[in-house]
Amino acid sequence: MKKFGFFVACLVCSISISLAKDGELKTSPLAVAFGSQPDFRSMSLSPDGNKLAFIQYHPDGFDFVRTLDLTTKQISGMIFAARKDEQDISYCAWANNERLLCNLRLVSPFRGHYLEGSRLVGVNADGSKMLMLVPKDLKGEFSQDLGTVIDWLPDDPNHVQIRVSEMGGSRVGSLDIYSGKLVGETRGRPNVYSWISDGRGVPRLYYFVSPEYRRWYVRTSDDDRDWEILHESKADDLNDKFVPYGFADNPDELLYFDMHEGRRALFSMDLAHDRATRVVFAHDRVDVAGVQSLGKYGRVVAAVYVDDRYRHNFFDKDIQKIHEQITPLFPDQNVGILAEDWDRRYYLVAVNSDIEPDVYYRYDSKDLKLARIASISSKLKDRELAPMREIAYPARDKVNIPAFLTLPDGEKKTGLPAVVLPHGGPSSRDVWGFDMLAQFLAANGYAVLQSNYRGSQGYGEAWSGAGAFRNWQTAINDVNDGAQYLIDQGIADPGRICAAGWSYGGYAALMSAIEKPSLYKCVISIAGVTDPRTLGYRMLMYVGGSAANEFLGADEIGETGSPLNRAGEIQAPVFLAHAKEDLNVPFKQSKIMYDALKDNNKSVEFIEYEHARHDIRPERYRIDLLTRMAEFLDQHTK
């Protein structure tokens, strides 16, 4: 009887694994519309405000750079390109009105894992004088980072200040953007991984990390030997939230983030007068998400926070006035001022909403003219997208969970197939605005619920708590209570709900189906964490086992918080997808989950993407992924 039972179990289960080879990739019209790369990204305004640089994605599968002359309306040809499947261009920015600096990202195998490296490339706006800006003493050597700009030195048209990482440390110097020569270097320091300049070419802070503690050092004089400890914490102290941002107009005024009355706030510290501190901005309900800086010297013009969407608390009255002039033109949309020319006349503006991806404009503050440049998503221009509605639903302990609900276009608003879509991170949150995955699912007929479960960031310490790994039970209960809310409200058909997520969201989808198997008909985990107890290796490389365990909560997670350990409890069919070169969540996390599900005779599909990273960005892979997701969902819910 045991043999017969095993044979029957294998007949009813479905197990497949496939490497997504280019010749076998799937496609569909909706997947092409939503999965295609944007028409352009990373737009940068020249110092004179008359030219733009931007990155495009070639149909053959590689990034390249072009420029647009806003005066003549002429678009350049390809001035610089990355190598397909080997490099990405993360940004291109103007060092002066003639020359661009582009940051290349590449992945290299290292000690059985993958590490990301970066390189700087200099190129003129006409495509001439292209040069890989590698300091001569490091050519041919392994280094993750051969040039992160920490100060653009706007008063020196030929140099920028960069950080160069070496094995076990880093150093700072001024890089000639035409020759690649590095001058005026600080001494290399072991275990130092970050530097902050005062905006005038003087390195003032650096960040030291050891297995025992973390320290920020501050420079106290012009002598490179005079450094003092500014802030110190133990390596495994997760309650320490001190994060320097940079300097205000006064080079002795340090701006930094820390906690204030249970929420993240922006502070100022006077380094010249006993390090006196003051609160620059704090919100009474949510965390400060960051700051906005603009112009020649990167002056801080606003603090940024998020309630349901991004908001600004302006410090610069001129920028506030410009924002107030533009915002009424775009009701119920997000308006962001992204860049300012050095004469403070021209501004690069982006406008978006839940139903429209970014549209770019140039604003002339002298003539009060707003000129449209382009939308990033021409493939979606004729599609009716689904509004994203802010809601709150009650958790089992009566706490209201903030969330966003997207319903498919059409008259039917009840009894729908639904996807519960927890966000990744988990040190993150969902925000009102265009969401590719939610819109794709809604276009396929699904109601989509995105909850900011407890453990999400942005709502203060009481909400984020010890994090959604260490307090996984609370986070997963919140996700499952969201699914139950859809049923109770009549929105979702209780027999047609699936859980899906990316990264931590994949973990949450798997754990939700384990904790409440009766709720879900299928599960999708993309680049998902499946065994948090083994995920700390990247932290182990830098700060030791205690910090890794503290962050991931190995003791709190134990065996019950591991999808891998509980694979035998999963009842719903599972779809796994993962990139081989994932630097955030190792590919192995999905591979071992697939093996465990297979060993337990569960229904599982597993798709591998050879030349991709955590975001599975290559267009051919993204379209294939969306196509397969839609097929999987339809198979189990329609």
Strand arrangement of the beta sheet that strand 80-81 belongs to = 41-45, 51-57, 63-69, 80-81
**Which neighbouring-strand residues pair with 217?**
206, 229
CATH 3.30.70.1400 fits 2-33+381-637, yes or no: no
CA distances to 198, 268, 299, 321 from 249, rounded to whole Å, are: 9, 12, 7, 21
Domain positions in the chain are: 2-33+381-637
Give me 390's structure tokens: 């802010």
Closest CA to 449 of 527, 366, 391: 391
Helix, strand, or coil (residue 191): coil
* Model pLDDT for residues 564-599, shown as the tens digit of each residue: 999 999 999 999 999 999 988 999 999 999 999 999
pLDDT band (50, 70, 90) for residue 8: very low
Neighbouring C-beta atoms of residue 258, cutoff 10 Å: 17
pLDDT of residue 426: 84
With beta carbons less than 8 A apart as the criterion, state whether 153 and 167 touch.
Answer: no
pLDDT of residue 192: 92
In this structure, are strands 87-94 and 80-81 parallel, antiparallel, or unpaired? unpaired
CA distance 505 to 452: 11
pLDDT of residue 142: 54
pLDDT of residue 6: 31
Give me 495's structure tokens: 């027999």
pLDDT of residue 115: 79
CA distance 447 to 484: 13
pLDDT of residue 253: 95
Closest CA to 536 of 528, 526, 546: 546
pLDDT of residue 427: 84
Task: State the pTM of this model.
Answer: 0.92
* Model pLDDT for residues 54-93, shown as the tens digit of each residue: 999 999 999 999 999 999 999 999 999 999 988 999 999 9
pLDDT band (50, 70, 90) for residue 19: low
Residue 623 has pLDDT above 90, yes or no: yes
Neighbouring C-beta atoms of residue 262, cutoff 10 Å: 12
Over range 273-293, report the average pLDDT.
Answer: 96
For helices 472-488 and 504-515, angle between their N-to-C axes, nearest 10 degrees:
70
Tracing tokens 């339809």 back to the chain, one arrives at 634
pLDDT of residue 544: 47
Phi-psi region of 465 (alpha: psi -120 to 50; beta: other; left: phi over 0): left
Query: If 0-12 CB within 10 Å is exposed, 13-18 middle and 19+ buried, where does residue 628 land?
Result: buried
Which of residues 138 and 564 earns the better pLDDT score? 564
pLDDT of residue 555: 62
Tracing tokens 């030349």 back to the chain, one arrives at 611
